[in-house]
Structure 1
Amino acid sequence: MKKSLVVIMLGIFISVVATAGVFDFLFKKGNSKKRIEVTLRGSTTVLPIGMAVTEQFSKENKRSRVSVSGGGSSTGIKALLDGSVDIAEASRAMKSKEYDIAKSKGMKIKEIVVAFDGIAIVVNPSNGVTALTKEQVKKIYKGEITNWKEVGGPDKAIVAVGRDTASGTREAFDHLVMDKEEPATGVLELASNNAVLDDVENTKGGIGYIGLGYVNHQVKALTINGIKPTFDTVKNKTYPVSRNLYWYTTEDKINNVNGVKQLIDYLLGEKGQAIVKSQGFVPVK
């Protein structure tokens, strides 16, 4: 009887040890079993890419939870530097002062070019103007050209709309078109590409600027310096208002946050770059 009890107890002990070993393998050593949790925030221009890529990535990686939000490039970069997100989406390059903040915190920033974009200058579809020079666009936003008849259009006041100061598209426009000169005080500042689209669509004298992926029937994209904003002209950099789109993260997050490297690799891979193109932007590969 005693011998049988010892045998039973020994069997239970072996079973518990074996089970513990299985659990250790599955949950401690099996990285593939870890839940992927990644947060992204930033540019409203890059937002459609981020949302579409993470949606497909999550479908293919069932144990993943990826959250994406907008707010502007500056907002996303600040959140990365604050440590509140894993990836910042940006439609402009990080500034030297932002790199200085990262350095002061011991962060090693990783810059990833995820797509190419052209900032399309758009007008109301009823406007007869089809082309402008970059200099004319600058003068419009500086308030030096105020009526469409001055550039071959109808006798109608120009209503210029742009983006707010948190926008990477605004930063790129200021650099590529305005030569860092301030726009006129009358330029309406809006918070997103969609807001610019809606405003220009509903204002016959309106002009605005948006990412290439946002151009649709609501507005008419103008030829600038004789070059139309298209996939080819953006890719070969002949369109004069072309730029890169970025994801920013840190070496620490790539190495230690499960899912960050996987998500970046997915975006830069064949499937991810196909999604970039489907969103109206130019793939980097």
Structure 2
Amino acid sequence: MKLWKPAVCLLLSGLLLSACAAPAGSASSGAEGNPGGSPEAGPETAPIESGLDLEKLGVTEKNYPRVDGSTSTLGIVQAAYEAVFGPESMDEEGYPWEASKTVPSYEKLIAGDLDLILAPSPSADVLSQAKEAGVELELAQVAAEALIFITPVENTAANITGDQVRDIYLHNGIASWTELGGPDRALVPICRNADSGSQSQLDNLILKGEPMDPSIQENYVELTMEGMLEQTAFYHTGGMFGQPSDSYALGYTLFTYLQNMDEITGIASSLKILDYEGVPATAQTISEGSYPLTGGYYAVTRADLPEDHPARVLTRWLRSEEGQVAILSRGFLPVYLDQLPPQDTEENARQAVLNYYSGCDIQEVTLVGREGDRITFQVQAEAGGQSSLCTITLNYYPRGWQVVSADLPPGL
């Protein structure tokens, strides 16, 4: 188990890396030598646990821990909640529809107001706050993630380097896209607010705690993750009330967040992900760790939490086969991805069909054909006393099989 424990006791003057108790078959790892004090992230090689039942392990609705996280990890927060309260809890009071965001979540955890947060690795500022409070944090990676740089799809630039990112965001030092192999258009760097998860990753991985150029923060700050995508894609068009400009924006976000938002809004068709140091950002390069800005999402607890606390049990479940499949179904890249059974099987597609037609009496499901990530069935279904033959087509996405077209029985 990859646990990172940045010791922040007041008695110590620097970052102390200490060993921590880890479940059998796992090992603890430190953050020494990583940018911004970030924990090492990458695919997990220790054997994955399976067959974990949260209720049998003692986590119930009555003792469910206080959990929060970042905007980008809200899906993982919800997956954990539903594992205890059930999917029907979406319609009930208390369901986690919102997150406190990255830095506020860390602050609440440090203050003792939370038991567990799911978030990117902490920034240097957060570690300083923990050190001042005499709090030691434990991080266990549950999913892979990566910081990516984006620009409008029309931009012909294809790659960006770490030195160029630093020159842009520390000094506002690159005025034209020609210096990145792009067109003769102004380069407009968009940034996020200081307490966002993507900003923390930029600070940790590239800026290394150095302050961003104030002119960027004053003129081009975007307060939401979705807004960053839209601002980057359409800044040059002038938006709703402005005038088109001879420019292209540069922005940054997190890989899985962009993929998940694209399923909802289609925004990815208006954006290009720049290669970083010549390496493209893909699910494969991120999962295997070859993309240079690969990071992770972590289950974070205070080190003084009792060993049998429900938050520790929930962390263990999130790293089990059951938890990792739940994380994958939310569109994330599990840290144990290589050890999970295939999810794009015909059997899983059939289950998705049965779920879709749950209000019918299903008499027969017949495979029509499959081509790549698309599969089609014919379903003999009865509803309202009428039997009919329906055709349903599904596509496989990172979050599982999704219905793209389907007939409904007349009686439904």
Structure 1 partner of 2:375: none
Q: Which of the residues 150, 158, 162 maps onto 1:130? A: 158
Q: TM-score, normalised by structure 1?
A: 0.75
The alignment status of 1:272 with 2:300, answered yes or no, reads no
> Secondary structure of the residue that 1:51 maps to in structure 2?
helix
Letter paired with 2:78: M
Structure 2 partner of 1:59: 86
Q: 1:108 to 1:203 in 2, by over 3 A?
A: closer
Structure (1/2) with the larger strand percentage = 2
The alignment status of 1:213 with 2:240, answered yes or no, reads no
* Structure 2: segments with no counterpart, 5+ residues: 1-57, 237-247, 263-267, 337-412
The alignment status of 1:97 with 2:128, answered yes or no, reads yes
Instruction: Give the distance between the partners of 1:156 and 1:130, measured in 2 at CA.
Output: 15
Q: 1:69 to 1:198 in 2, by over 3 A?
A: same
Give 1:49 deviation, angstroms.
2.2
The alignment status of 1:171 with 2:203, answered yes or no, reads no
Give 1:117 deviation, angstroms.
0.9
1:28-87: CA deviation from partner (whole Å, max 9, x where unpaired): xxx777624433223222223222442344217989966464233221011112222222
Structure 2 partner of 1:119: 147
Structure 2 partner of 1:14: none
Instruction: Give the distance between the partners of 1:164 and 1:51, measured in 2 at CA.
Output: 24
The alignment status of 1:245 with 2:297, answered yes or no, reads yes
Q: 1:260 to 1:244 in 2, by over 3 A?
A: same
Q: Which of the residues 83, 87, 99 maps onto 1:70? A: 99
Instruction: Give the distance between the partners of 2:221 and 2:201, measured in 1 at CA.
Output: 15
Between the two proteins, the alignment pairs up a number of residues equal to 251
**How high is the sequence identity, in percent, across the aligned residues?**
24
Q: Which of the residues 219, 225, 229 maps onto 1:197? A: 229
Higher RCO by CA contacts (8 Å cutoff, separation 6 or greater): 1
> Secondary structure of the residue that 1:129 maps to in structure 2?
coil
Instruction: Give the distance between the partners of 1:34 and 1:41, measured in 2 at CA.
Output: 16
Give 1:202 deviation, angstroms.
1.8
Give 1:273 deviation, angstroms.
1.2
Range 54-63 or range 176-185, more displaced:
54-63
* Structure 1: segments with no counterpart, 5+ residues: 1-30
CA RMSD of aligned residues (A): 3.0
Letter paired with 1:130: A
Q: 1:252 to 1:83 in 2, by over 3 A?
A: same
Structure 2 partner of 1:7: none
* Preserved contact between residue 81 and residue 102 of structure 1 (Cα < 8 Å): yes
Q: 1:200 to 1:60 in 2, by over 3 A?
A: closer
Q: Which of the residues 55, 63, 66 maps onto 1:39? A: 66
